[in-house]
Amino acid sequence: MGNHFRFKDEEEEEEMDATTMEEKEETQNNKNKGIHNNDDDDDDMLDDEPAHDFGPDPEFMVRKPEANLMMFGGAAVMTSSSNATSAREEEEEEDKGGTTMRRGGASAASLPSSSSPPSVFLKLQCKHKEKGAVYITQMESNFDFSKVCYRTSANEAKVFDVHSARAAAAAVPLVRHERAVTDAHFPVPNELTTILSCSHDNTVREWDARTNNANCVAQARVPNHILGKNGSLETCSIGGANETILAVSCGEKILFYDRRMIRQGGGGGGEIIKQFEDAHSETVTKLRFHPEKRHILQTSSVDGLTCTFNLFDEIDDENSLVSIGTANAAINDFGFLKSSGISSGNNSGSVSSKNILWALTGIEEIHLFDCDASGTTCGVEIGHVKNAREKAREAAKQAKAAMSARKVSSKPSSSSISKNGLKDMIENGVDYIINVIDGGDSNNHKYYACCGTINGTVGLFPIAYDQNGMKSDTSTQPLTLLAPEYVLPNDSSVNEQHQDGGRDREDLVMQGHGDIVRCLLASSSSSMATSDGQNMHLYTGGEDSSVCAWTATTTRSNIIDNNHNGFGGGAMRNSPSSSFRSGRESPY
């Protein structure tokens, strides 16, 4: 927490005896005569310093907004004094009808809708409904986005090839457990068919997506004396320098296995080589090794902390700890985002590395942290979206106003926004946050908060600075949500009518989910891109037992540089302080 100063004891001051008073008078006389005493000077310095406690840590450098990042509210653009003149000149050119976009952002009038939208067409490619009343609770892809694995509430997970014409309809039930599956994903970048899962049946299993049988490749069973009375396996991951470390959570503990030593199939399964018992004080909600720096382990917990561990030299909950970030509420989910080539700390970050961590809390708030373990600001919270649901609803209203303005001016409205879905968000409100995604190349790697309603509507809201609430005395800057650039309709959009009395074109091909959407997966790039545009592929799963595949095609000729209109592209990176120490205090 840095250095803090104690309040003076007033009682001691009142009871100061005559001897002390004489010493102070003598000290003052010596000063007047030019005689200085170092000890007395130190005491005087302490007396002159303000009395306060638990202020901002002086080792946290206050982060200043980047000059090329769009602001929401107040001044339209944050520009440095050195280029203020050129910015004004560009504004004048725009007023004269020029089409050049200023790198600093847009005018204040265009802020609610973030920017003039590019030409985007959103299409529902296919929709697959599972048999029976099951929930789709998790959806993740392998590292080249060729396969997708989704977890259901039927104690299994299914896999499908994204390049298949039937996609989710051809999903194969590969992962099976005796009780509820709590985590299933592709854990290793260079093993595109390896799937890892864990379950309340107290096992963690490894599968091969190339096989269609129900036999796992390897299995480890956590013994009952480790589980304890209320322990259960909630999340798992594989990593390490040689992909040999298997990590699995058990309550507030993190267990480590040697992946090479777990026995094939069967019911036994390997010895625990290490345990982290002090990293978290409550249930660990997610474990993931960094997708690029494979010896870095990231964790989150109900205790509101996200921890970064470096397991390159040793596996130890004290010596391996790099940093701790605090969200002040239970963290349910997290993920990694690209920082667009701007490195942090000692400039050791790699180009386009995933050095930003998003964390979603149980009170539906979004936190962004620096997770570059090689930098000096790892663990520092760099942005926070408070009251995200309310912000999303207000942003939806702004989108509706912008669409109405375009209608009046005879400008075509964006086909990436469902009018019926937008109406659902405005009238019924946004009920939950699904996750945060990187918009990919077609969206200049902006960050989107994916928000949903209980009726199945999903909106993708760009994240940006909230200038009205920015502070100068904290390392964390407030963020807000701009008007949605994509709105995925629910299954009631078939009832939406066109203004001339007929059905809108989107109604004929887009009937999304009819209930809460639990998961959303986005591709940052695709081999299916056309010559005149780029595609962003979205996959969603929900409580209506459905899996939907969407494609948003953006025409290249109409793309406007929005890279600086949202939070994406590492806009909050800056030079760190000379030293860093992350606090380990629990928020509770």
Work out the pLDDT band at 523, boundaries 50, 70, 90: confident
User: Are 279 and 254 contacting, i.e. CB atoms less than 8 angstroms apart?
Assistant: yes
Who has greater pLDDT, 21 or 442? Answer: 442
pLDDT of residue 205: 94
Looking at per-residue confidence, does 549 or 98 come out higher? Answer: 549
Contacts of 449 (CB under 8 A, 6+ apart): 366, 385, 388, 392, 433, 436, 460, 461, 463, 481
CB 391 within 8 A of CB 425: no
Average pLDDT over residues 540-559: 78
Average pLDDT over residues 64-79: 40
pLDDT digits (tens, 9 = 90+) for 206-244: 999 988 777 888 999 998 888 877 789 999 999 998 999
Higher pLDDT, 32 or 189: 189
Q: What is the pLDDT of residue 510?
A: 66
- What does the pLDDT average to over 421-444? 89
DSSP H or E stretch at residue 226? helix 224-227
- 110-140 pLDDT, tens digit each: 333 344 444 567 788 888 888 888 999 999 9
| Best CA proximity match to 356, nearest among 441, 290, 309, 297 | 290
The DSSP string of 388-402 is HHHHHHHHHHHHHHH
**pLDDT at residue 358 in the model:** 96
312 vs 341, more confident: 312
Cβ(504)–Cβ(489) under 8 Å?
no
Q: Tell me how many degrees the CA angle 82-83-86 measures, rounded to the nearest 5.
A: 140
pLDDT in the model for residue 71: 55
- Alpha-carbon dihedral angle through residues 88, 93, 99, 103, given to the nearest 10 degrees: -20
Q: What is the pLDDT of residue 466?
A: 81
Residue type, 352: S
pLDDT-derived band at 28, boundaries 50, 70, 90: low
Q: What's the whole-number average pLDDT of the chain?
A: 74
**Residue percentage of the chain with pLDDT more than 70:** 62
Could you tell me if 521 and 539 are in contact, meaning their C-beta atoms sit under 8 angstroms apart?
yes
pLDDT per residue over 364-391, tens digit each? 999 999 999 888 889 999 889 999 999 9
**Cα separation, 368 vs 354, whole angstroms:** 12
Most confident of 40-54, 455-469, 568-582: 455-469
pLDDT value, residue 465: 82
Q: What is the pLDDT of residue 566?
A: 44
* Residue 501 scores a pLDDT above 50: no
CA distance 364 to 332: 9
**178-182, 472-476, 559-563 — which is least confidently predicted?**
559-563
Distance between CA 564 and CA 27 in Å, rounded? 59
The answer on pLDDT for 7 being more than 50 is no
Q: Which residue has the higher pLDDT, 451 or 439?
A: 451
* DSSP secondary structure letter of residue 111: G
- Of 169-173, 389-393, 453-457, which range is least confident? 169-173
Q: Is the pLDDT of residue 409 over 70?
A: no
Q: Per-residue confidence at 416, pLDDT binned at 50, 70, 90?
A: confident
Q: CB–CB of 587/327 below 8 Å? A: yes
Per-residue model confidence (pLDDT) at position 9 = 46
CA 499 to chain centre: 39
CATH architecture of 149-385: 7 Propeller (2.130)
Specify the higher pLDDT residue, 335 or 8: 335
pLDDT of residue 552: 83
pLDDT at 568 over 80: no
Q: What is the pLDDT of residue 196?
A: 96
> Which of 42-56, 76-90, 491-505 shows the lowest per-residue confidence on average (mean pLDDT)?
76-90
pLDDT of residue 357: 94
Kindly report the three-state secondary structure assignment for every residue of 400-423. Answer: HHHHHHHHHCCCCCCECECHHHHH
Which residue would you say has higher pLDDT here, 36 or 354?
A: 354
- Domain ranges across the chain: 149-385
pLDDT in tens, 247-271: 999 999 999 999 988 865 445 567 8
Residue 20 to residues 10, 12, 15: CA-CA distances in angstroms? 15, 11, 10
Stretch 495-502: mean pLDDT, rounded? Answer: 44
Would you state the torsion angle of the CA atoms of residues 414, 480, 112, 110, taken in this order, to the nearest 10 degrees?
Answer: -100
Q: What is the pLDDT of residue 536?
A: 84
Closest by Cα among 128, 63, 52, 170 to 476: 63
The token pair at 509 is 């091909």
The secondary structure element, H or E, covering residue 443 is none
**Which pLDDT score, from 0 to 100, does residue 440 have?**
78
35 — pLDDT class (breaks 50, 70, 90):
low
How far is residue 563's CA from residue 110's CA, in Å, rounded to a whole number?
A: 15
Q: How is 121-186 classified by DSSP, letter by letter?
A: EEEEEEEEE-SSS--EEEEEE-TTSSEEEEEETTTEEEEEETTSSSGGGG-EEEEE-SS-EEEEE-
- Tell me how far CA of residue 63 lies from CA of 330, 470, 578, in angstroms: 25, 10, 14
